[in-house]
Amino acid sequence: MKELLDILHSQNFTGLCDDSRRVQKGNVFFSFPVENAERFALDAMNSGAIAIVGEGNPPQGTEEIFIRVDSVSKARVESAQEVYDRPFEKLKVHAVTGTNGKTTTAFLMREILVAAGKKVALLGTICNKINDTVWESSLTTPGLLDLYAFASAALQEGVTDLVMEASSHALHQGRMDGVRFASALFSNLTQDHLDYHKTMENYFLAKKRLFDCYLAEDGLPIINIDDSYGALLAKENYSRQILVSRKVFANADVHPSEEPVLSENGIHILVPKISSEAFESPLCGNFNVENILLILAWASALGISESVVRKALALIKVPGRFEKVYGENGKHIVVDYAHTPDALQRVLETARSLCRGKLSVVFGCGGDRDALKRPMMGVVAEKIADKVWVTSDNPRTENPKKIMDDIIAGMEGKFLLEENRALAILAAVSSMEEGDWLVVAGKGHENYQIIGTEKKHFSDVEEVLKAVKVC
């Protein structure tokens, strides 16, 4: 390690990198023992890397700059700690994990901390933020080196707290090694990402790592026990764990004393263990009751004042999460990121509970991703909605028609097919009458479609507003 440390402090050193496509002159490249590792190492050297850190024997041609270590993962973490001056020892880091609700919950956490007078950074699906500066997000949770660089930059801007969405991929891949979370929230676990994890058990074990491997000794675990995997997680009996349920008579630390009141204007919820007065939020739906309860438990445990929490809850708006895009002439149109069977069911059930007329949905499924969920989503849509438009999402390198065929395989015939997503939205909007609701699901905040390997501008929100103008 001494040899590596010397290089990190040399005049020629310019940065750390673990992706051969991003190597710049003067970088130290971490060569993981993966398929084609030799080619990646050579590419890194040819791009100007001054050191290749790897296990075993050096690839031919890299001998002079190769540094052998027992563990590349460990060397990468130690190097990041050294270069970025151990940022996670100076930040309070809070994480939320689960299949659904991560983004909304993370937004709420940030808004509450900001309202409490903290300087806050956010890492998540929609965007990354340092105070009021915003960047587009490419991953729910960034790579380890990007994470350390972001944390270091946040500290330079006076940030005290970092809020993160913790994805199962990042947890499984060790992208948060070296971080110790002050708090960790678990929302739910439903089918998703089985193209990567293969089984729900593996998916759960990846999520569980947040609590087993990354939570600080005095960290605060907050768990939704209404979810079966949350109940399983709670059996670990973590120190300081707080159990949350939306059931009135639940054996939980935090739960409502009466059924929450849900309307198109939001949520009214009374949680006597937190306050004698009800909380109000413009967020809609049972799924947001779950998110709000997690937040109330979290904020209370951190000692954040009730007035601060109320202020944040009242003002919160999350792009692409049951986002009310249109609400005139008795018609309501919502855009939502729902892209799993469970998320789609939650969103449609919420819309159904508010709808006085007919409920329609436009959705598709992403290509090169978990194909098992496609017919399940079709069944959910057909069961709850009156009209279903099956369309294209991000087909990537798959044939869009094949994806649509997979979706309708589980359906009985109550659907229309329109591959062109803009035309599907236009058709759905055109068919609306007074009292009707339309949910456009799957892409939410995204402003693009990936067709083949090309990323094209596309926004469900924009297309809805265009359609409304001509209908």
Q: What is the pLDDT of residues 86-124, one digit of tens each?
A: 999 999 999 999 988 899 999 999 999 999 999 999 999
Closest CA to 447 of 326, 319, 338: 319
- Outline where DSSP puts E strands in 153-214: 161-165, 181-186
CA 83, CA 203: separation in Å to the nearest integer? 32
Residue written as token pair 């297309």: 463
CA 371, CA 373: separation in Å to the nearest integer? 5
- Output the pTM of the full model: 0.84
Residue 333, strand partner residues:
326, 438
pLDDT reported for residue 415: 96
Looking at every residue in the chain, the average pLDDT score rounds to 95
Walk me through the domains of the chain, giving residue ranges and CATH numbers. 2-83 (3.40.1390.10), 87-315 (3.40.1190.10), 323-470 (3.90.190.20)
Residue written as token pair 């110790």: 180
What is the average pLDDT across 234-257?
96
Tell me if 390 sits within 8 A of 344, measured CB to CB: no
Q: Residue 285: pLDDT band by 50, 70, 90 thresholds?
A: confident
pLDDT reported for residue 196: 86
**How large a percentage of the chain has pLDDT more than 90?**
89
What is the average pLDDT across 344-362?
95
pLDDT reported for residue 2: 83
What is the average pLDDT across 314-322?
89
The C-alpha angle with vertex 261 and arms to 309 and 94, in degrees rounded to 5, equals: 30
**Of the listed ranges 1-5, 101-105, 289-293, the one predicted with least confidence:** 1-5
- Those residues whose C-beta lies under 8 Å from the C-beta of residue 57, and which sit 6 or more positions away, are none
pLDDT for residue 137 is more than 80: no
- Those residues whose C-beta lies under 8 Å from the C-beta of residue 205, and which sit 6 or more positions away, are none
Tell me if 314 sits within 8 A of 270, measured CB to CB: no
- Those residues whose C-beta lies under 8 Å from the C-beta of residue 390, and which sit 6 or more positions away, are 363, 364, 378, 381, 404, 407, 408, 415, 416, 417, 418, 424
CA 258, CA 247: separation in Å to the nearest integer? 8
CA 248, CA 318: separation in Å to the nearest integer? 27
pLDDT for residue 138 is more than 90: no
Q: Residue 452: pLDDT band by 50, 70, 90 thresholds?
A: very high
CA 91, CA 153: separation in Å to the nearest integer? 12
φ, ψ of residue 136 in degrees (nearest 5):
-70, 140
pLDDT for residue 443 is more than 80: yes
pLDDT reported for residue 136: 82
**How large a percentage of the chain has pLDDT more than 70?**
100
pLDDT digits (tens, 9 = 90+) for 35-44: 999 999 999 9
pLDDT reported for residue 315: 87
Tell me which DSSP letter residue 396 carries. Answer: B
pLDDT reported for residue 389: 98
What is the average pLDDT across 419-432?
98
pLDDT for residue 317 is more than 90: no
Q: Residue 286: pLDDT band by 50, 70, 90 thresholds?
A: confident
Give the total residue count for the chain. Answer: 471
pLDDT for residue 13 is more than 80: yes
CA 62, CA 301: separation in Å to the nearest integer? 53
Phi-psi region of 187 (alpha: psi -120 to 50; beta: other; left: phi over 0): alpha
Q: Work out the burial of residue 297: count CB atoms within 10 Å of its CB; fewer than 13 is exposed, 13-18 middle, 19 or more buried.
A: buried
**Tokens, residue 168:** 């199962």
Residue type, 241: Q
What is the average pLDDT across 200-211?
95
Phi-psi region of 65 (alpha: psi -120 to 50; beta: other; left: phi over 0): alpha
pLDDT digits (tens, 9 = 90+) for 382-415: 999 999 999 999 999 999 999 999 999 989 998 9
pLDDT reported for residue 190: 87
Tell me which DSSP letter residue 211 carries. Answer: I
